[in-house]
A and B are shown apart, each in its own frame.
Chain A
């Protein structure tokens, strides 16, 4: 049964990629894209319910492994991929209408979108540390041509940077994986099982600490490039700013999470082998640096998508910091933050996409008075910004509050740094978004309000998570937190 559900989850996007590679130029390609993403989402729901009922499962000769930690990311990924496909349908049509995109480009976009979803789900569900690497690299490959979709000099530059930097990063991660195998082979023997995470997890105390230490450094630096941790982040703002908005939304909301998930899988093994806080300290260091540097860069941004890309770096840094601290509460908070950040950040990118489309520029000084032009876009952007800045009723507040109180308890020295960085980020983003939403403009009001249902659905979910945590969800996070230690 689990085999079948997993198969449905993985094959649907793969099939979608194949179908759209053939039919991507048809008029109904966008609908097909949404449909396949919808099916993927349904499959993920079915899988999630099963795992919630029956606990961790392995499938296909132990090649796949689903536990509460990754299944929540599977559900989140499939959900955001689905809503993004809904958002991209009208959005990309308008882009085509404006002459920015041609039909062949859209063809490429749709089929790559599905394949990208497939690689992310594969990276999440596989039990093989080697396959995680393969899937992560494949995720880069599928998105790199999407970043350069507009074929402008800037977008080509961004895509080249993305490709080279992530390629180098991921190569280092491969070296880390090889070292991991090197250590595992001595315990588990030659052959296929030595890279299976479940097997590694059982023998983690026997793994050679010197090798694992080095392996983790490589894995963290490698996948950390993908997460966008400072100082490996320089591809991220470019790729987010120059790529099409739906791509920015999934990159920011999903891909970064998945890279972090790969790091967490390694961290569990390294903690078991070393028996100290080495991995956690490294992650805390990188996380804190990312939060601080991103916050400082935020105020200097002129491009709206670039600014929110830096905000993603900041939040990923915060999550990495939380996971680095470890312990039940911090890990719980980290996962909650991962969820709400994905929801809110993709919602913001949807709203930003519309705002940019309406005003024809990404420069913030030229985007003014969105509330007058279109109240839906204006409110979506305003609420999204409130949410991402950690205003109380939204889920981001809850998770940030938890992270900071834990930090105050376990690592008091870090609290002022975190608070200062969050304060700077708040001032920077709020100061720039306020005139965009509430400012005066001479532009005419739009005749039809744009369809922004995904934005409000995401924000509503984030709001609910902030006000009330459903008990099964809390239990689910707790299980995962216990698993990650």
Chain B
């Protein structure tokens, strides 16, 4: 066994990322969901840091710090404030059929791994296979967005999807150019703000954050 120890750690963090994506899929409480999101951000930041260390790329340290700041501190804090102000802190979502969702999730993971398999065979770098995990967590977050009926969890799913993408960008490809990463981070931040504005508009109009109210526009 000649896998370097840093790679083992990155692999472990990648697996944790995927595991958290599954945990989010089955989490009913909004507060716990946000906590999970922050943990996912932490795993992401840590793996970026390890990649930076093992490949000696300095700009990845900035990425790791940026991730830590944005995904672990600012965004969860913003979400906390939002749910506090909107008074939906203790909202529990009635998720039906968690086992089915989980099975669909496993199918998605297999699909993602299959899709990524030819790519990971190409790469001789230390991080082969991570693209598959990133893709899997993106798809899982997508599934989470589809299964949710409340606005806030849907947005958490959206942000978690961004986590998966960030993971692909930093770990699997050793980091995109910094200017792109900054741009992505800015977009995510502004997006969250706009989501926040939206929550208030939604509640003002519908008296709830239930998006089942928003299925009126259809082609009949």
Q: Are chains A and B touching in the complex at the 8 Å CB cutoff?
A: yes
Chain A contact residues, CB within 8 Å of chain B: 128, 130-131, 133-134, 137-138, 141, 144-145, 148, 151-154, 156-161, 163-164, 167-168, 171-172, 174-175, 178-179, 181-182, 185, 190-192, 194-195, 208, 210-211, 214, 237-238, 241-242, 297, 300-301
A151 lies within 8 A of B183 (CB): no
B122 lies within 8 A of A208 (CB): yes
Q: A175-B135, A181-B173 are in contact. Are A130 and B183 (CB under 8 A)?
A: yes
Which chain B positions have C-beta within 8 A of A174? 165, 169, 184
The 9 A-B pairs with the shortest beta carbon distances in the complex, nearest first, are A130-B180, A134-B183, A157-B214, A137-B187, A182-B173, A192-B177, A238-B217, A178-B168, A210-B118
CB distance from A483 to the nearest CB of B (A): 24
Our pick among A138, A181, A211 for the contact of B176 (Cβ within 8 Å) is A181
B177 lies within 8 A of A130 (CB): yes
Indicate if B7 sits at the interface (CB-CB under 8 A).
Answer: no
Our pick among A152, A158, A195 for the contact of B180 (Cβ within 8 Å) is A195
CB distance from A279 to the nearest CB of B (A): 18
B217 lies within 8 A of A214 (CB): no
Which chain A positions have C-beta within 8 A of B180? 128, 130-131, 133-134, 195
Classify the secondary structure of A's interface with B. Answer: helix
Our pick among A144, A172, A242, A300 for the contact of B217 (Cβ within 8 Å) is A242
Report Cα–Cα, A190/B60, bound state, in Å: 12
Which chain A positions have C-beta within 8 A of B142? 168
A178 lies within 8 A of B217 (CB): no
Report Cα–Cα, A152/B198, bound state, in Å: 13
Across the A-B interface, how many residue pairs have beta carbons closer than 8 Å? 135
Name the segment of B25-33, B39-47, B75-83, B189-197 touching the other chain: B189-197
Our pick among B154, B197, B216 for the contact of A153 (Cβ within 8 Å) is B216
Report Cα–Cα, A99/B115, bound state, in Å: 53
Identify which of A157, A160, A178, A191 gathers the most chain B CB atoms within 10 Å of its CB: A178
Indicate if B119 sits at the interface (CB-CB under 8 A).
Answer: yes
Proximity string of chain B (143-169) to chain A, C-beta cutoff 8 Å, 1 when within and 0 when not: 001000001001000100110010011
Which chain B positions have C-beta within 8 A of A159? 198
B194 lies within 8 A of A145 (CB): yes
A134 lies within 8 A of B154 (CB): no
Query: Which residue of B has the minimal Cβ distance to A196?
Result: B177
Which chain B positions have C-beta within 8 A of A301? 219
Which chain A positions have C-beta within 8 A of B220? 300
A175 lies within 8 A of B138 (CB): yes
Which chain A positions have C-beta within 8 A of B20? none
Classify the secondary structure of B's interface with A. Answer: helix
Report Cα–Cα, A242/B205, bound state, in Å: 15
B119 lies within 8 A of A214 (CB): yes
Report Cα–Cα, A194/B174, bound state, in Å: 12
Size bracket of the B interface:
35 or more
Indicate if B96 sits at the interface (CB-CB under 8 A).
Answer: no
Which chain A positions have C-beta within 8 A of B169? 174, 178, 181
Our pick among B115, B123, B135, B214 for the contact of A156 (Cβ within 8 Å) is B214
A130 lies within 8 A of B172 (CB): no
Q: A148-B201, A158-B217, A182-B173 are in contact. Are A163 and B115 (CB under 8 A)?
A: no
18 chain-A/chain-B pairs, Cβ below 8 angstroms: A131-B179, A131-B183, A141-B187, A141-B194, A148-B201, A151-B205, A156-B214, A157-B214, A157-B217, A161-B217, A163-B195, A171-B161, A174-B165, A175-B134, A178-B169, A182-B173, A192-B177, A300-B219
Which chain A positions have C-beta within 8 A of B104? none
Report Cα–Cα, A151/B200, bound state, in Å: 11
Query: Which residue of A has the minimal Cβ distance to B118?
Result: A210
Query: Which residue of B has the minimal Cβ distance to A215?
Result: B119
Our pick among A153, A158, A175, A211 for the contact of B205 (Cβ within 8 Å) is A153
Known: A174-B184, A210-B122. 5 other contacts (CB 8 A): A156-B214, A168-B142, A171-B158, A178-B172, A181-B169
Which chain B positions have C-beta within 8 A of A160? 151, 198, 202, 211, 214
CB distance from A55 to the nearest CB of B (A): 27
Which chain B positions have C-beta within 8 A of A171? 138, 158, 161-162, 165
Which chain B positions have C-beta within 8 A of A185? 173-174
Report Cα–Cα, A297/B219, bound state, in Å: 8
